[in-house]
């Protein structure tokens, strides 16, 4: 670790697990995620209903526990904050069947290996953050084998995950405009049972939890039932076989949902579409909580001192926390702290504390940096 990010209360909609997820991607994938966030904000900003561009820069309906990775804007319909549909149905998908992705392979095993890689969580996400060559599609969520829930389209917008089809039992139209969509990591079994990519308990538990959240949310018409929880193959049997013949709605979705508790909180705080800002907040969380850094209180204090030193070096007379999170350059002082050279840095922090006219004063939120703790206080 070559630098210490800023510490203190986090910008809304950031957490440490986003940093972990982001770091697991390749450099090209990271660039795609950043570009998709910017493009999502730009598409939102063009809506006549948005009074300001700032209103377009946040995703407001992201479910608790999900990481938000915005889909490419050519893959969904933008409605904007407060204008989302009253979704009724929930459609369960799984990425491409071996018979589809493997049609150019000479052997079944070669196709199976390709499918396992192509349908891995990071590659499914990469598919949806990339501009499609044809037939654009997206999803509201992708759920990983380890129970990760990645949301890719704000619930105020419309994901493109199904064609318009008749409900197999009620005859009602099921469309993108009245249905949620989820992709489950793994590839679909086809005629050879060796092709099955198993569902994990963590994955099914996350799916059940998601269903229960939506069931309890008064914004939507969905409730946990066979008629409203559908397989992609049920509504499009001529074209689709996912999530596969081994998936049973009652056992693998509804039973897990019935084990979940009651939800009274349905969305996270608004999440910035600016990936750079979110990463800064996630890095700050990693330091402040110790979840990924293992840094001591002394190191966090030293990081706070480095923030102050950076502000001084920039000639600023006043700086608020958003400016600090947004990209203040971390000084050599912080790098020393990261290397464990905490004593001298803490002494430097004391020197800064005792100097006249600290530059970090109360900001617009009424919070100020406490250099004794490395935190922002009232």
String of DSSP letters for 123-134: HHHHHHTS--SS
Q: Considering the domain boundaries, does residue 102 fall inside one?
A: yes
Q: Considering the domain boundaries, does residue 324 fall inside one?
A: yes
Q: Which tokens belong to 268?
A: 């996270």
Q: Which tokens belong to 296?
A: 């001591």
**In angstroms, rounded to a whole number, what is the distance separating the alpha carbons of residues 197 and 185?**
9
Quote the pLDDT of residue 106. Answer: 63
Q: Which tokens belong to 253?
A: 């979705």
pLDDT for 178-236, tens place per residue? 999 999 998 887 656 556 678 999 999 999 999 999 999 999 999 999 899 999 989 98
CB of 299 closer than 8 Å to CB of 338: yes
Residue stretches of the chain with pLDDT short of 70: 1-16, 48-55, 97-108, 111, 190-196, 281, 284-378
Task: Kindly state whether residues 212 and 315 are assigned to the same domain.
Answer: no
Task: Kindly state whether residues 232 and 300 are assigned to the same domain.
Answer: no
Give the chain's domain count.
2
Task: Kindly state whether residues 94 and 165 are assigned to the same domain.
Answer: yes
CB neighbour list of residue 302: distance below 8 Å, 6 or more residues apart: 4, 333, 334, 336, 337, 342, 345, 346, 348, 349
**In angstroms, rounded to a whole number, what is the distance separating the alpha carbons of residues 4 and 300?**
8
Domain boundary among 242, 259, 276: 259
Task: Kindly state whether residues 234 and 335 are assigned to the same domain.
Answer: no
What SS3 class is residue 150?
strand
Task: Kindly state whether residues 80 and 126 are assigned to the same domain.
Answer: yes
Domain boundary among 210, 232, 259: 259
Q: Which tokens belong to 375?
A: 């935190």
Backbone angles phi, psi at 349, to 5 degrees: -60, -40
**In angstroms, rounded to a whole number, what is the distance separating the alpha carbons of residues 31 and 8?**
27
Quote the pLDDT of residue 174. Answer: 95
Quote the pLDDT of residue 175. Answer: 95
CB neighbour list of residue 95: distance below 8 Å, 6 or more residues apart: 118, 119, 124, 127, 183, 185, 186, 187, 188, 242
Task: Kindly state whether residues 129 and 236 are assigned to the same domain.
Answer: yes
pLDDT for 17-70, tens place per residue? 787 888 888 777 888 888 888 888 888 888 766 555 556 778 889 998 888 999
Task: Kindly state whether residues 245 and 99 are assigned to the same domain.
Answer: yes
What SS3 class is residue 347?
helix
**In angstroms, rounded to a whole number, what is the distance separating the alpha carbons of residues 179 and 222?**
9
Beta strands in 211-250 (DSSP E): 229-231
Q: Considering the domain boundaries, does residue 46 fall inside one?
A: no
**In angstroms, rounded to a whole number, what is the distance separating the alpha carbons of residues 183 and 119?**
10
Strand pairing partners for 166?
173
In terms of DSSP H, where are the helices of the chain?
16-23, 27-45, 53-56, 98-101, 108-118, 121-128, 201-216, 232-235, 249, 255-259, 275-289, 297-313, 321-325, 332-338, 342-354
What SS3 class is residue 6?
coil
Q: Considering the domain boundaries, does residue 119 fall inside one?
A: yes
Task: Kindly state whether residues 210 and 312 are assigned to the same domain.
Answer: no
Q: Considering the domain boundaries, does residue 144 fall inside one?
A: yes
CB of 216 closer than 8 Å to CB of 265: no
Domain boundary among 232, 259, 286: 259
Task: Kindly state whether residues 212 and 116 are assigned to the same domain.
Answer: yes
Quote the pLDDT of residue 325. Answer: 37
CATH number at residue 137: 3.40.80.10
CB neighbour list of residue 144: distance below 8 Å, 6 or more residues apart: 121, 150, 185, 203
Q: Considering the domain boundaries, does residue 14 fall inside one?
A: no
Q: Which tokens belong to 314?
A: 């920039």
Quote the pLDDT of residue 150. Answer: 93
Quote the pLDDT of residue 288. Answer: 56
Q: Provide the domain limits for residue 311.
A: 294-377
Residue with tokens 């990463």: 279
Q: Considering the domain boundaries, does residue 190 fall inside one?
A: yes
From residue 113, how far is each of 105, 119, 124, 168 by CA, in Å?
10, 10, 15, 34
CB of 256 closer than 8 Å to CB of 249: no
Q: Considering the domain boundaries, does residue 188 fall inside one?
A: yes
């Amino acid at each position: 670790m070559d630098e210490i990010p800023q510490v203190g209360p986090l910008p809304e909609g950031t957490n440490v697990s986003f940093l972990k997820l982001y770091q697991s991607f390749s450099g090209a994938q990271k660039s795609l995620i950043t570009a998709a966030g910017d493009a999502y904000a730009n598409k939102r900003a063009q809506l006549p209903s948005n009074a300001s561009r700032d209103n377009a820069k946040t995703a407001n309906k992201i479910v608790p526990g999900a990481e938000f990775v915005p889909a490419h804007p050519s893959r969904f319909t933008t409605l904007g904050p407060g204008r989302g549909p009253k979704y009724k149905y929930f459609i369960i998908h799984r990425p491409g069947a071996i018979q589809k992705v493997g049609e150019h392979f000479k052997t079944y095993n070669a196709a199976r290996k390709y499918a396992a890689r192509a349908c891995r969580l990071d590659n499914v996400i990469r598919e949806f953050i990339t501009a499609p060559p044809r037939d654009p599609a997206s999803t509201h969520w992708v759920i990983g084998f380890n129970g990760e829930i990645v949301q890719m389209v704000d619930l105020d917008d419309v994901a493109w995950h199904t064609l318009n089809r008749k409900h197999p039992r009620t005859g009602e139209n099921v469309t993108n405009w009245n249905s949620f969509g989820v992709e489950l990591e793994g590839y679909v079994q086809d005629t050879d049972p060796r092709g099955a990519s198993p569902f994990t308990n963590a994955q099914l538990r996350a799916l059940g939890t998601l269903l229960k959240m939506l069931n309890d949310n008064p914004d939507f018409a969905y409730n946990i039932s066979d008629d409203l929880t559908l397989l992609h193959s049920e509504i499009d049997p001529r074209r689709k076989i996912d999530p596969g013949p081994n998936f049973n709605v009652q056992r693998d979705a509804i039973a897990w949902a019935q084990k979940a508790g009651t939800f009274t909180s349905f969305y996270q705080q608004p999440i910035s579409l600016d990936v750079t800002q979110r990463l800064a907040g996630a890095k700050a969380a990693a330091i402040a909580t110790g979840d990924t850094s293992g840094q001591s209180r002394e190191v966090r204090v030293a990081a706070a001192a480095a923030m102050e030193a950076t502000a001084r070096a920039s000639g600023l007379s006043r700086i608020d926390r958003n400016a600090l999170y947004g990209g203040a350059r971390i000084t050599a002082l912080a790098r020393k702290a990261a290397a464990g050279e905490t004593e001298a840095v803490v002494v430097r922090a004391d020197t800064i504390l005792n100097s006249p006219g600290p530059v970090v004063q109360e900001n617009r939120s009424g919070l100020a940096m406490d250099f004794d703790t490395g935190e922002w206080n009232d």
